[in-house]
Amino acid sequence: MILSDEVSEYSIYRRVVSQLMQGEEQLPSLPTITLDIRRALGDPQVSMSALVRLVSRDPALSAMLMKHASCALYRHSVTPKTLQDVIVLLGMGEVDRITMVHSIKSLFTLHSPAHKRLFVEAWQRLVLKASTCALLARLLSRITPEHALLASLLSEVGTLAVLSAFKDEAVIPSSELYYRLCREYSKPLSIIVLKKWAVDNEYIEVIRGTGHWQYSPGQRIELLDLVNLALYHALKERQAFSDLPPLTELAAYQKLLPPQDFIGENGELSLIIDHRADIHALAATLH
């Protein structure tokens, strides 16, 4: 009877999420300040002083940019002291990406303690995975860490969007049922949301290939490879999936050369084990 009740409950939650996917207007939109900043960052005529004033309108974003640029992961020779220093140091493209990261976190209104608990659990997991992806970018590729970090977060924006389905619900799903819903709906929801936000198609293609362990385009380490390696390690750390293939079978892993391909006793890449403190330090800037 308990199993029957659980199936019935899950069916109810599935219907709620399906209804969310039918109505795009229910899905979160990017804040006006984010659109203004991104528009200014893309304008070659914008002055630095105007850009600083615009970014300063969002104190939380300004703080995140300062923390991010000062993170030890990037090992800058000079620590930025002002917002202008940060923008110059990171560059327009990276400021744009961190602005998107900040917006993703701020988009999802929390309506109850249970709602907040699910969001916090999911956000902590996503930023740890994204920070792992950023570290892999710095160590393995020519892709910038911020680019990889944003791609990793956007690949699971549907995980957070699932919570939007329950903003008016009196009952919030348990953690177990929430993650079951995410496994079923996160990827299609992510694609719907990113199309609504009109982000680069590159990020949508990453979503399509995320979790396909034997797929890897090109000869070099690509953005999708970084996302899949980070996802694999996140799943392995949670020990939530017993059907994970050995790391050596991943197409992304097979592109690595010694010593980057060394594997520790726990089946993870040694370079991730050795840089765990850097990963957590970067994740802390996103909380």
The pLDDT value recorded for residue 223 is 97
Task: Tell me, yes or no, whether 187 and 72 share the same domain.
Answer: no
Residue 60, CA distances (Å) to 92, 130, 145, 201, 202 in order: 18, 20, 21, 28, 28
Cα–Cα distance list, 285 to 29, 101, 227, 261 (Å): 24, 11, 20, 28
What is the pLDDT at residue 201? Answer: 94
Q: What are phi and psi of 239, to 5 degrees?
A: 55, 35
pLDDT at 110 over 70: no
pLDDT band for position 208 (cuts 50, 70, 90): very high
The answer on 53 and 157 residing in a single domain is no
**Same domain as 225, residue 132:** yes
**Percentage above 90 pLDDT, the chain:** 41
Continuous segment of H or E residues that includes residue 14: helix 2-22
Residue 116 has pLDDT above 70, yes or no: yes
Domain that holds residue 188: 110-284
Q: 284 by DSSP, 3-state: which?
A: helix
Domain final residue, candidates 48, 74, 106: 106
Q: How many CA atoms lie within 13 A of 105 on its CB side?
A: 21
pLDDT for residue 126 is more than 70: yes
Residue 1 included in any domain: no
- Residue 25 inside a domain? The answer is no
Q: How many domains does the chain fold into?
A: 2
Residue 37, pLDDT > 50, answer yes
User: Do 64 and 53 touch, CB atoms closer than 8 A?
Assistant: no
Q: Considering 77, 106, 135, which residue would you say is the last residue of a domain?
A: 106
In a domain, 7, yes or no: no
235 and 117 inside one domain: yes
Mean pLDDT score, 98-120: 81
What pLDDT was estimated at residue 241? 56
Identify the three-state secondary structure at position 269: strand
270 and 191 co-located in one domain:
yes
Cα 285 from Cα 287, distance rounded (Å)? 6
Distance CA 219, CA 123 (A): 32
Per-residue pLDDT at 133 exceeds 50: yes
Lowest mean pLDDT among 12-21, 37-46, 85-94: 12-21
